[in-house]
Chain A
Amino acid sequence: MDVDSNWATDWVRRSADAVAAHKADLAALDRAIGDGDHGENLDRGYRAALAALDGLGDDATPADALMLVATTLISNVGGAAGPLYGTAFLKASGAAQGLDELGPSDVVAILTAARDGIVLRGKAEPGDKTMVDAWTPAVEAASAAAAAGSDVRAVLEAAAGAAERGAVDTEPLVARKGRASYLGERSAGHRDPGAESTALLLRAAAEAAADAAERRGS
């Protein structure tokens, strides 16, 4: 089954819950190799997005919900994460434009646009120890799942699993982008906080799709 704007708004709510629950973990990861504010900043951004959801009309499309996330994260998160996640959701919204329901290939298009937006903005490549190291395997796994005929729920499940493994795989890497790159070799041995938060957000997307499928009894 496909997903609609209810999935998109549920994704925002579940993301806000996940970020709030893991705020301290993200902060600890960021303290090790960054400035320690990633958990606090992302939590502030998602609380603002949650509050802004009320202003979304009944006829809102998935693209509208994604745009709302983009603008609130950009305005409220700050640092590099605000522009990066903001750009990701801005591009994702563009990819969902005009669609009321999203099928497997639409979801792949959204994830791809988000990843491309982050790469465009941050100019990081895979292996630089950034959120790109979670997004890129997620996009690849989602594409493979969609090509194999999976439904949206399975496509997002594949993306979330790949993002989680990608986040873990950043641990031995030496950072080449962002503040952690100032640490050079000393950045190895720590998980990248941006890759970790990406895994949380994509897990929330998969859970929202699973829940939608359960409720529709499919």
Chain B
Amino acid sequence: MRRSAVAADPNAPRVGLVFVSHSAAIADGLVELARQMAEDVVLVAAGGTDDGGIGTSFAKVSEGIARADAGSGAAVLFDLGSAVLTAETALDFVDDDQRARVRVVDAPLVEGGVAAAVAAQTGGTLDEVVAAASGASRGEAAGETPPADPGRPRYERTVTLRNEAGLHARPAAEFVRLASTFDAHVFVDGKDAKSLLAIMSLGAVRGDAVTISSDDTRARSAVDALAELVESGFGEG
């Protein structure tokens, strides 16, 4: 059941990310936030002008793309107004080979950036990372379960959150990362277990019970693995 390879090549470098903001503090802060859930991804802050003012820098974005793309590609997210112009112009100046591996993604910077970081951490391909970022704009609707088919057998387990943070931040990312290693569609209280934002939108805190389920009976191992992760308290003891 467990996928043999999440990325096309398990030894391929991870997709990198560049965060373009008018503010250096915003870009740096987003790297700090996303780092909590993506310790192995190259995350580059490209915020502010060359002299530290408010604005975007062609040089910072260009260097960011060069650093973030280790061969598997990079996704570039941006904030306001001219940031997208700077990002797209920087892309114009890289060679054709690399340009094919870099995407400028229209997504909310913070939500999309975090979702993309988790997708990259779990070994997602460039397409999957871009889809994760773009999907973030759908907000809470992301990852809704399709209407249940009463005719299909269902396997589910209800477990109680024991860890401090509940299904939030790092534990949520760990949960999504584990869910992503299985082919099966698994849901948590009706939300897609592979969607970080959907999981975080549950707002499940310590002491809450969540139901992990799948309509796919072959997904028993996935449901069990996720239930055990929750019951283990995410290593927080």
Contact = CB atoms under 8 A, between A and B. Distances in A.
Contact of A84 (B49, B57, B81, B85): B85
A28 interface: no
A78 B85 contact: no
B89 interface: yes
Interface string B154-184: 0000000000000000000000000000000
Contacts of B88: 83, 121
Given A79-B82, A80-B82, A179-B81, A87 B89 contact: yes
A83 B59 contact: no
A13 to B, nearest CB: 23
A122 B89 CA distance: 11
Interface residues of A, number: 16
Interface string B70-103: 0000000000011001101100110000000000
Given A79-B55, A83-B58, A86-B58, A74 B82 contact: no
B55 A86 contact: no
A71 B89 CA distance: 10
A1 to B, nearest CB: 33
B49 A83 contact: no
A122 B85 contact: yes
Interface residues of B, number: 15
B81 A80 contact: yes
A63 to B, nearest CB: 15
Interface SS of chain A: helix, strand, loop or mixed? helix
Given A74-B89, A87-B89, A82 B58 contact: yes
B20 to A, nearest CB: 12
B86 A82 contact: yes
Interface string A69-90: 0010011001110111011001
A121 B81 contact: no
Interface in B57-72: 57-59
A74 B81 contact: no
Interface string B31-66: 000000000000000000110000111110000000
B89 A83 contact: yes
B58 A74 contact: yes
Nearest to A77: B58
Contact of A121 (B50, B55, B57, B89): B89
Interface of B: 49-50, 55-59, 81-82, 85-86, 88-89, 92-93
